[in-house]
Structure 1
Amino acid sequence: MDVKLSRLAATSGVSTTTIKHWIRVGIMPAGRLKNATTAVYEQRHVDRARLILVMRDVYGASIASIRSLTELIDTPGVLTLDVMNACQAFALGVPEGIADDPAYAEFRERTYELMRRRDWRGYPGAAERGLTFALAQASEVGLDYDVEELMEYADALEPLAGRNVAALGPEGSADEVARRMLLAVNARARQLVAVSSLAHAAASVRSAIEAGRAPADIARPPAARG
């Protein structure tokens, strides 16, 4: 696939000016010169544009953040697992300093104990730092989850994780793998938060009904369609 800049822009859904800017700031590779005045672009440029759009539009990422990931992707010999870990770090937005900050020691140990009990590999990585950070934040608002409670979450999530990994697959360029993973992390997070919120709302309604503060038929979902 060799196309001109205008075709790349049309395929990617961004303007030629934007693509030129991305090339200028180093997050999009330059095209291959066909002659002194014309450059042509390939599928890798389309994949890169699609990745940048997800980082910019879904995550609101800065040019510097985008460049950090694209530079890793462009490193010769980079492993897919390294790209996936970098995507998790980007999506979770957790500072690397948490990995050895003494203030988080208690929550790190809970994370490690969960990983040991389930034989989860991935250390050192962004996901483990993300859980450590999340546990610390939850503790600050009175939700102090212990390892047994984390195991209950893990019992439900581990089978789903296996199916998700199989569905995403490693196929495609590193840019395409990164794009799919970033979209999947965002979608999973929204889904889990929404299900959790629905469960908490239901618990609140049930408590109100049991206490006589609300009628027994309140807030039921619509009847199933025939």
Structure 2
Amino acid sequence: MKLSELATQSGTSTTTLKHWIRVGIMPAGVLKNATTAIYQQRHVERARLIIVLRDVYGASTTAISALTGLIDAGAPTLDVMNACQAFALGTPDDLASDPAYAAYRERTYELMRRRDWRGYPGAAERGLAHALAQAAEVGLDYDVDTLMEYADALEPFAERNVAVLGPDGSPDEVARRMLLAVNARARQLVAISSLAHAAASVRSAIARGAAPPDLAAPPAAPGA
């Protein structure tokens, strides 16, 4: 396909594509003659990945280059998936050795030991330790037993998600799907948690007599 068709299929402009090629995050096409290059499906998949990184995660060209460079170097799929988790979580690499996070790392490792969870090779572990530290700063100091309750609820969903998403497809497509899935899961979990907290606050207000019994009741079911 020509550059114009690549732009149409990927949903971006030829100017943007030329820029991505120039900065090295998009492979160049194969020259057909002195003025025309031919592009393939892999270019479409790379463009779609870059768009997710740019539009969903607000990634810089440097950050995008780090991930696409890993893919272009032929890294195994599990390495690419781990890099996507690290990218999505935004957790600094040095957290793995920072003594300030030692207690939270140990809670993470104890959770993994109890559930026989294998991290590969550490982005998600660092992410949880970082999240536990941030939660503790606002008074939500979760112990391992509490984390086990969360894990009991989440593990079945994780297994189903992996089965649906799977490792099939090019590394660019696997990375794009995973980044979108991480973002969607995070938003869903935050929304459900927020809804539960709102409901708990309303119930508490009603119980104290500070709010009417019918405050914020959900709409009736259709046909009810």
Give the TM-score range, shorter chain. Answer: over 0.9
User: Residue 82 of structure 2 contacts residue 120 of structure 2 at CA under 8 Å; is this kept in 1?
Assistant: no
Q: CA deviation at 1:138?
A: 0.3
Q: From 101, 104, 114, give the equivalent of 2:101.
A: 104
User: Residue 78 of structure 2 contacts residue 120 of structure 2 at CA under 8 Å; is this kept in 1?
Assistant: no
User: For 1:94, what is the secondary structure of its paired residue?
Assistant: coil
User: For 1:203, what is the secondary structure of its paired residue?
Assistant: helix
What are the superposed Cα offsets for residues 84-143 of structure 1, whole Å, 9 maximum, x if unpaired? 000000000000010010000000000000000000001531100000000000000000
What are the superposed Cα offsets for residues 162-202 of structure 1, whole Å, 9 maximum, x if unpaired? 00000101111100000000000000000000000000000
Q: From 8, 20, 37, give the equivalent of 1:39.
A: 37
Partner of 2:47: 49
User: For 1:122, what is the secondary structure of its paired residue?
Assistant: coil
The one-letter code sitting in structure 1 at the alignment partner of 2:144 is V
TM-score relative to the length of structure 2: 0.98
Residues of 1 paired with 2:177 and 2:101: CA distance? 31
Residues of 1 paired with 2:43 and 2:121: CA distance? 31
Write the mapping of 1:157-172 to structure 2, written as runs, cut at 5 A: 157-172=154-169
The one-letter code sitting in structure 1 at the alignment partner of 2:100 is A
Partner of 2:146: 149
Q: From 189, 201, 205, give the equivalent of 1:208.
A: 205
Deviating above 3 A after TM superposition, structure 1's stretches of 4 or more consecutive aligned residues are none
Aligned residues: CA RMSD:
0.7
Partner of 1:116: 113
User: For 1:121, what is the secondary structure of its paired residue?
Assistant: coil
Number of equivalent positions:
223
Q: From 198, 218, 223, give the equivalent of 2:220.
A: 223
Q: CA deviation at 1:34?
A: 1.0
Unpaired runs of 5+ residues, structure 2, are none
Unpaired runs of 5+ residues, structure 1, are none
The one-letter code sitting in structure 1 at the alignment partner of 2:46 is R
C-alpha spacing 1:171/1:123, structure 2 compared with 1 (3 Å): closer
TM-score relative to the length of structure 1: 0.97
Alignment of 1:81 onto 2:78: yes
The one-letter code sitting in structure 2 at the alignment partner of 1:43 is Q
Residues of 2 paired with 1:84 and 1:225: CA distance? 42
Partner of 1:21: 19
